[in-house]
Chain A
Amino acid sequence: MSASGVYYGASVSKAQPARLDVVGGCPRLKIDDGTERNVVIASVSERIAGVPRRITLDDGGAFLAENAAEADALLLELGHVQGERIHRFESVGRRWAVVAVILIVAAAVSLRWVVPALAEAAIVLVPYPAEQRIGYRAYASATSLIFEESKISEERFRQVMNLADELLLVGEPEHRIQVVIHDSPKLGANALAFPGGPIVLTDALIELAPDDDALRGVIAHEIAHVERRHSMKRLLRMTGWAVIAGAVFGDASSLIEEVIAVPSILVDFAYSRAFEAEADARAVELMRLAGADPEAFARFLHLLTEKCGEYCDKTNWLSTHPGTADRVQALKLM
């Protein structure tokens, strides 16, 4: 078997048309100007569509085969069979491409379940002190931006802290969770839980609560978030998506990574609804243990959302909390 192509001597750019033959089981180089000699092959490049096969000789020269089929036959005869497998997969016809696309889309869809599952598994690797530090650091930066010193009376302050301590005791959490109260004009009536704590209650929330049981409900809900490490899991999930998006989109285009960040965050919102439902369930459990009335919590949720009119009752893909009607319904069933 013989392959035609171009021969370059070591380190020179002069291209000499030549042929590579197999003579007596050995490769023999026959340059078109008449010279010929036996050569020793040092390495062979892998086959890739459209790229001349590069056969490097041990004297530093190189033979570039123009015809891929000829090169394959020649190398086969010499016993060089590597470098073929991947090309065979890459060059399958149109039907295979369709199958591949379907597989990829299926894989993309399965990510919806795979990444959260991986995050659940990976959380074991995050030590609680590390999570607490992350949460505390986030809280520290948030303090300068949106939290101000609480303006409620000292008596009320102590009352609320007692409520919180009660719930913390009853739940028997593994780690100490800090509860703090801040005034936050930007957040309004709200409650936040940072990874590993602290739990932040706003003045407006405490004022708005019609009774203590309602407040217990919210605090219990936030405690559940910290107990179940929801925020940390969300961080892991978003990292997971970012990594996979990086692998898929990779260096496809400039600034693609920045653009990918946006849908990654939006996709995560869907999962938060599951976490909210989980937190609600645990909150009801804690309230019952503390002898409080879970209905008060449902009523309070309803009250909280009166400000946004009808839109809160419908679950939409942008909200991190399922619509109140859903939650109230779910709470009633518990």
Chain B
Amino acid sequence: MTYMVDFVQRMEGAGEGGESATAFRQIEFRGDTKQYFGIWIVNLILTLVTLGVWSAWAKVRKTRYLYGNTRLDGHSFDYLAKGWTLLKGRLIVVALIGLYALAGLLSPYAQIAMALLFLPLYPWIINRSLSFSGRMTVYRNIRFHWSGTYWGTFKVTILWPLAAASTLWGLLPMATRASQLYFIRNYSYGTARFSAEAALGAYYRAFLMALMLGFGLSMAIMFVAVAGMGVVAAVFPLSGGGGQVAAEGGFSPTMTGGILAGVAGVYLVSILAFLFVSSFYHALTRNETIAGAALEGGFRFKSTLSGFRLAWISLSNLVAILFTLGMATPWATIRLWRYLCDNFWVAMGPDSASFVDKQVAAGSAFGEEFADIEGFEFGL
């Protein structure tokens, strides 16, 4: 308590702090796995018992735990969403998916038509989702506000990915940069706007490093796979002997099983490798974007993620969760969150006590509240 009072007083006495006021402060996470395990288990049991309905409240509790135990400069964050709001949004999404599936039952053409109909909705849904999660996030009684436009979001969520894909990912670094900058520039903390600048070169560097990592991994995997298959073939020779009347290439049940195992194995390993490489790329690009971000009032940011460490955490988390049938999930969540917090730094501006929040008009003309949809996001 006194610790907090000290900080508050120092903030009030702006300008006298000098050095200490502009040094980068680390974000502090005070939660631990043991506490979160209790929350996670209760969430899980209630979600299963209510056939998924409770998942909305579960998400709120989880997010509040993570945000509430995350502190910057002695003050914690919070998440103010209510379960009912999340549930309403989710039901809307379920209804849309249901319509899409029903269309599929009629004919593949109906389904395509439905997909085209829904496509224009997508950027709108994302905007609503980002706006909602921003408004529900609060730090020192000030909320975050999303100001992205329909076309801005359309470009970033549909056009840029298309462009990247159609150039064999050659444009991916540009797309990543565009998307991350758009994300930061359209958030504001109360009435104070965030800004971001970043040079394209760093993103291409990150991309090339990720490609090299991916290439190296593929070589290693292929080597292991070929060696492995050789071992398997030596130990389990398939008798292809004579006396077969059936056409060649006929599948026996066990051979099918063996081949299926092989395919499953390759699929699994590819996913893991992809996860590793994309986490690596994500860490590097995130560092770059955050370094160029700023908040009106003299606030600057820094991210010190290590590509390899983040990739390793993502990978080992996934493997641990699988091998423990999900029991390791709380540990994995805390581990990742803590790593992200430990590597996020904020240089405080001279006066963090003078922020003012936007007044959200009650009963806005477009009925904002009814369509609060969460879960559709992109960003850092």
Q: Give A residues with C-beta under 8 Å from B.
A: 4, 6, 8-17, 32, 45-46, 48-52, 54, 61-62, 66-67, 86, 89-92, 97, 100-101, 103-105, 107-108, 130, 133, 137, 185-190, 203-204, 207-208, 243-244, 247-250, 252-256, 258-259, 262-263, 265-266, 269, 304-312, 316, 318-321
Contact with A along B4-38 (1 / 0, CB 8 A): 11001001000000000000000000110001111
Is the CB–CB distance between A258 and B271 below 8 Å? Answer: yes
Residues in B33-71 with C-beta less than 8 Å from chain A: 35-39, 41-42, 44-45, 47-48, 52, 55, 61, 64-65, 67-69
Q: B190 on the interface (CB 8 Å rule)?
A: yes
Is the CB–CB distance between A11 and B141 below 8 Å? Answer: yes
Assess A319 versus B35: contact at CB under 8 Å? Given A188-B246, A252-B326: no
Partner of A11, one of B39, B321, B357: B357
Q: B165 on the interface (CB 8 Å rule)?
A: no
Is the CB–CB distance between B31 and A50 below 8 Å? Answer: yes
Residues of B within 8 A of A310 (CB): 239
Is the CB–CB distance between B35 and A318 below 8 Å? Answer: no
Is the CB–CB distance between A62 and B141 below 8 Å? Answer: yes
Partner of B251, one of A108, A187, A253, A263: A187
Is the CB–CB distance between B245 and A207 below 8 Å? Answer: yes
Assess A307 versus B42: contact at CB under 8 Å? Given A50-B69, A104-B327, A319-B253: no
Is the CB–CB distance between A11 and B356 below 8 Å? Answer: yes
Chain B CB count within 10 A is highest, among A13, A66, A248, for: A13
Seed contacts A17-B4, A91-B38; 15 additional CB < 8 Å A-B pairs: A4-B1, A45-B64, A46-B64, A49-B31, A52-B68, A86-B42, A104-B45, A189-B250, A244-B48, A248-B44, A248-B48, A252-B326, A258-B271, A259-B318, A265-B264
Assess A15 versus B140: contact at CB under 8 Å? Given A100-B41, A247-B47, A309-B238: yes
Is the CB–CB distance between A190 and B251 below 8 Å? Answer: yes
A284 → chain B, closest Cβ, in Å? 20
Assess A266 versus B69: contact at CB under 8 Å? Given A188-B246, A319-B254: no
Chain B residue with Cβ nearest A54: B78
Residues of A within 8 A of B326 (CB): 104, 248-249, 252
- Which of B168-176, B209-217, B255-263 is found at the contact surface with chain A? B255-263
Q: B363 on the interface (CB 8 Å rule)?
A: no
Chain B residue with Cβ nearest A96: B38
A318 → chain B, closest Cβ, in Å? 3
Is the CB–CB distance between A255 and B254 below 8 Å? Answer: no
Q: B317 on the interface (CB 8 Å rule)?
A: yes
Residues of A within 8 A of B139 (CB): 13
Q: B267 on the interface (CB 8 Å rule)?
A: yes
Residues of B within 8 A of A311 (CB): 236, 238, 252, 254
A306 to B332, CA, bound (A): 49
Partner of A255, one of B11, B251, B271: B271
A256 to B67, CA, bound (A): 23
Is the CB–CB distance between A97 and B39 below 8 Å? Answer: no
Residues of B within 8 A of A46 (CB): 61, 64
Residues of A within 8 A of B267 (CB): 262
Residues of A within 8 A of B45 (CB): 100, 103-104
Residues of A within 8 A of B268 (CB): 259, 262
B324 → chain A, closest Cβ, in Å? 10
Residues of B within 8 A of A312 (CB): 252-254
A218 to B36, CA, bound (A): 55
Chain A CB count within 10 A is highest, among B37, B239, B254, B355, for: B254
A230 to B243, CA, bound (A): 34
A208 to B244, CA, bound (A): 9
Is the CB–CB distance between B141 and A12 below 8 Å? Answer: yes
Is the CB–CB distance between A305 and B354 below 8 Å? Answer: no
A248 to B46, CA, bound (A): 11
Residues in B355-375 with C-beta less than 8 Å from chain A: 355-359
Is the CB–CB distance between B78 and A186 below 8 Å? Answer: no
A207 to B244, CA, bound (A): 12
Interface SS of chain B: helix, strand, loop or mixed?
helix
Is the CB–CB distance between A90 and B247 below 8 Å? Answer: no
B129 → chain A, closest Cβ, in Å? 14
Assess A190 versus B37: contact at CB under 8 Å? Given A13-B355, A253-B318, A318-B258: no
Is the CB–CB distance between B274 and A48 below 8 Å? Answer: no
Ordered by A's residue number, 20 sampled pairs between the chains whose C-beta atoms are within 8 Å are: A6-B8, A6-B75, A8-B140, A11-B359, A12-B357, A13-B141, A13-B352, A13-B354, A14-B353, A32-B5, A48-B68, A51-B64, A51-B78, A52-B76, A66-B1, A252-B332, A256-B318, A307-B244, A307-B250, A319-B253
Assess A90 versus B253: contact at CB under 8 Å? Given A253-B332, A309-B238: no
Residues of B within 8 A of A255 (CB): 271, 274-275, 318
A104 to B7, CA, bound (A): 44
Is the CB–CB distance between B257 and A247 below 8 Å? Answer: no
Partner of A130, one of B55, B105, B247, B253: B105
Assess A253 versus B321: contact at CB under 8 Å? Given A13-B142, A189-B246: yes
Residues of A within 8 A of B359 (CB): 11
Residues of A within 8 A of B36 (CB): 49
Is the CB–CB distance between B69 and A45 below 8 Å? Answer: no
Is the CB–CB distance between B30 and A50 below 8 Å? Answer: yes
A12 to B240, CA, bound (A): 79
Assess A318 versus B4: contact at CB under 8 Å? Given A50-B30, A259-B268: no
Chain A residue with Cβ nearest B316: A253
Contact with A along B263-289 (1 / 0, CB 8 A): 010011001101100110000000000
Chain A residue with Cβ nearest B69: A50
Chain B residue with Cβ nearest A93: B38
Q: B249 on the interface (CB 8 Å rule)?
A: yes
Q: Which 4 A-B pairs have the closest CB atoms?
A: A188-B250, A51-B68, A318-B257, A308-B252
A203 to B246, CA, bound (A): 9
